[in-house]
């Protein structure tokens, strides 16, 4: 037996131990449900930015994007461009306003509770519908992450799929169960740094191995003459669909909850700079990994890459000592687990804050609320593990439209609630339902080649605005003005500090 698997396994164990240690440390800082679900609104911009990025990208950044570039070249880079633009707009315009408005609106700690408080929905139907939508989408989303973990261990270490799935699920649930939002955020930050480091190391050493930039360009062009073209091989609908991914950011609960947890609206500026900087470096690393991998395997025809999406993993194991390669493999786990932990917290908040607490109809102590939140994490994790027990492509396929589902369902509601006074609870609720229906049914229409988030987002906006104009205007002027002024004051304060 060679020592290579031992080195890799040692790196994975060290990584797991670090994540669990952070979760246990975060447990000491968790006193009530606001701490458990939102970190006591005391998240610094670096943690918020890196945790948002890590929980957003998942395994797509290290596996899917390099694999797509390996096969088609820069024609598949439009999705990265759309995501970067969407993330910048989200930090620039949504983050400061959402941070202030959620506090003004009765200190809301979840998106459903914010929409209910913002729109003064006394029927509570908007909150229930929102909570159920989050719970439905994210339970399957979490399950897909666990499936990815099982596949990772199966392919990297030769373990069975179920053992790998249980290891990833167990470690992630452990640090999330005890650490809550604080634990998830700080582990996500560390995982984001690990992902970025790996995406810098692999292409840097890879370009040296293929003979430098000029030789890389020559080799890639010989294999695929159109590899460096953003246009060849694309269509107008294809480019629009890829750019449309950026719309999803406005409605992703596990991302925008970081905005709600910032110390103040002024921190959004620093968060944007850190987050977009991380995203740009990581995206560039993923793009270059795919292209450099194409050049490397073209120069070494004796090597075979059976799965293009494994180009990052293959290059890491070829270029580095097994121990270093183990930490690079850990970066893939980091991408998977950071997303799962954040989604577990959002699912728990929907189950506890938006559904269970309303059903109980009585006051419970802060510690009881924390344990209720932990119970929510455990329940969602168990359901997700049961769905992932048998590897099922339909679960993985759901992830492809889950981003569209959240973007088209919650995106317009969040934007209108922050920037339009006249939004009403019936308008928001019917718009969300309409957006969800479009996402679920779009694949059966003649126009299914267009990414469903675009029509879903548009229909949601149209329905929400139309219904709001024909329903009673809620009494929100004072709150709306206060939230806007606080957000503007935070932005002004940041500009003064920058000078």
In the 3-class helix/strand/coil scheme, how is 362-382 assigned residue by residue? Answer: CCCCHHHHHHHHHHHHHHHHH
Q: What is the pLDDT of residue 214?
A: 92
Q: Report the C-alpha gap between 169 and 147 in whole angstroms.
A: 9
For the CA atoms of 388, 393, 395, 401, the dihedral, rounded to the nearest 10 degrees, stands at 160
Tokens encoding 481: 């003005």
Q: What is the pLDDT of residue 84?
A: 92
Task: Please state the domain extents for the chain.
Answer: 4-397
Given CA atoms 209, 75, 393, 134 in this order, what sign does their dihedral have? positive
Q: DSSP secondary-structure letter at 460?
A: H
Residue 135: closest CA among 464, 409, 456, 424: 409
Residue for token digits 């293009």? Answer: 308
Q: What is the pLDDT of residue 498?
A: 40
Cα distances (angstroms) measured from residue 23 to each of 16, 135, 258, 317, 351? 11, 23, 17, 29, 21
Residue 277's CB is within 10 A of a number of other CB atoms, namely 13
Q: Report the C-alpha gap between 185 and 13 in whole angstroms.
A: 20
pLDDT in tens for each of the 499 residues of the chain? 466 778 888 888 888 888 888 888 887 777 766 676 666 677 888 988 888 888 777 777 887 788 888 888 898 889 889 999 999 999 999 999 998 888 888 888 788 888 988 888 888 888 888 888 888 777 777 777 787 788 778 777 777 888 888 888 888 888 777 777 788 788 888 888 888 888 999 999 999 999 999 999 999 999 999 889 888 888 899 899 989 999 999 998 888 888 888 888 888 999 999 999 999 999 999 999 999 999 999 999 888 887 787 788 888 888 888 888 888 888 777 777 777 877 777 777 777 766 666 666 666 666 666 677 777 778 878 888 887 787 665 444 566 678 888 899 999 999 999 999 889 999 999 999 999 999 989 989 999 899 999 999 999 999 999 999 988 766 666 677 777 777 776 654 444 334 3
Cα distances (angstroms) measured from residue 103 to each of 56, 180, 275? 24, 20, 23
Q: Report the C-alpha gap between 453 and 412 in whole angstroms.
A: 11
Predicted model pTM: 0.85
Tokens encoding 178: 């005890």
Query: Where are any strands of DSSP class E within 3-67?
Result: none
Do the Cβ atoms of 136 and 436 come closer than 8 Å? no
Q: What is the pLDDT of residue 493?
A: 47
Q: DSSP secondary-structure letter at 306?
A: S
Q: Report the C-alpha gap between 254 and 244 in whole angstroms.
A: 19
Q: Report the C-alpha gap between 97 and 488 in whole angstroms.
A: 8
CATH code of the domain occupying 4-397: 1.20.1730.10
Residue 215 host element (H or E): helix 213-223
Residue 347's CB is within 10 A of a number of other CB atoms, namely 28
Phi and psi dihedrals of 43, rounded to 5?
-85, 130
Torsion-angle region of 7 (φ positive above 0: left; ψ -120 to 50: alpha; else: beta): alpha
Q: Report the C-alpha gap between 43 and 38 in whole angstroms.
A: 9
Q: Report the C-alpha gap between 372 and 3 in whole angstroms.
A: 45
Q: CA end-to-end span of the chain, whole Å?
A: 61
**71 burial via Cβ count (<10 Å: 0-12, 13-18, 19+):** middle
Q: Report the C-alpha gap between 162 and 389 in whole angstroms.
A: 7
Residue for token digits 């499936």? Answer: 147
């Amino acid at each position: 037996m060679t020592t290579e698997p031992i080195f890799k396994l040692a790196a994975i164990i060290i990584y797991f131990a670090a994540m669990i240690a952070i979760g246990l440390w975060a447990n000491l800082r968790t006193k009530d449900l606001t701490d458990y679900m939102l970190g006591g609104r005391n998240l610094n911009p670096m943690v918020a930015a890196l945790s948002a990025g890590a929980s957003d990208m998942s395994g797509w950044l290290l596996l899917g994007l390099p694999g797509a570039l390996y096969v088609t070249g820069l024609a598949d880079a439009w999705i990265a461009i759309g995501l970067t633009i969407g993330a910048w707009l989200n930090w620039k315009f949504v983050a400061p306003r959402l941070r202030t408005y959620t506090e003004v609106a009765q200190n809301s700690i979840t998106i459903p509770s914010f929409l209910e408080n913002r729109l003064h929905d006394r029927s509570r139907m908007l909150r229930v519908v929102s909570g159920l939508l989050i719970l439905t989408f994210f339970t399957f989303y979490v399950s897909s992450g666990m499936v990815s973990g099982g596949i990772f261990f199966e392919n990297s270490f030769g373990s069975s799929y179920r053992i790998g799935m249980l290891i990833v699920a167990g470690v992630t649930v452990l640090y999330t169960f005890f650490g809550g939002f604080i634990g998830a955020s700080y582990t996500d930050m560390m995982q984001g740094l690990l992902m970025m480091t790996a995406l810098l190391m692999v292409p840097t050493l890879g370009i040296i191995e293929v003979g430098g930039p000029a030789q890389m360009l020559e080799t890639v062009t010989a294999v695929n003459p159109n590899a460096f073209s953003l246009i060849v091989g694309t269509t107008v609908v294809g480019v629009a669909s890829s750019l449309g991914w950026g719309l999803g950011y406005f409605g992703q609960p596990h991302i925008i909850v970081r905005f709600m947890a910032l110390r103040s609206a002024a921190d959004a500026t620093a968060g944007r700079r850190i987050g977009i900087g991380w995203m740009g470096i990581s995206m560039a690393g993923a793009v270059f990994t795919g292209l450099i991998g194409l050049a490397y395997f073209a120069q070494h025809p004796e090597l075979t890459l059976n799965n293009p999406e494994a180009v990052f993993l293959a290059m890491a194991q070829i270029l580095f000592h097994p121990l270093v390669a183990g930490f690079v493999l850990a970066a893939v786990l980091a991408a998977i687990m950071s997303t799962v932990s954040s989604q577990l917290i959002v699912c728990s908040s929907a189950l506890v804050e938006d559904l269970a607490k309303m059903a109980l109809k009585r006051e419970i102590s802060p510690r009881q609320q924390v344990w209720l939140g932990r119970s929510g994490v455990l329940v969602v994790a168990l359901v997700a593990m049961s769905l992932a027990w048998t590897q099922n492509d339909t679960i993985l396929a759901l992830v492809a439209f889950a981003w569209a589902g959240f973007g088209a369902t919650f995106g317009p509601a969040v934007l209108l609630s922050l920037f339009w006074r006249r939004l009403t609870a019936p308008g928001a609720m019917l718009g969300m339902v309409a957006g969800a229906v479009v996402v679920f049914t779009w694949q059966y229409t003649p126009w299914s080649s267009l990414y469903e988030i675009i029509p879903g987002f548009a229909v949601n906006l149209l329905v929400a605005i139309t219904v709001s104009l024909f329903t009673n205007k809620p009494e929100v002027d004072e709150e709306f003005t206060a939230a806007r002024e606080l957000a503007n004051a935070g932005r002004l304060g940041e500009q003064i500090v920058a000078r």
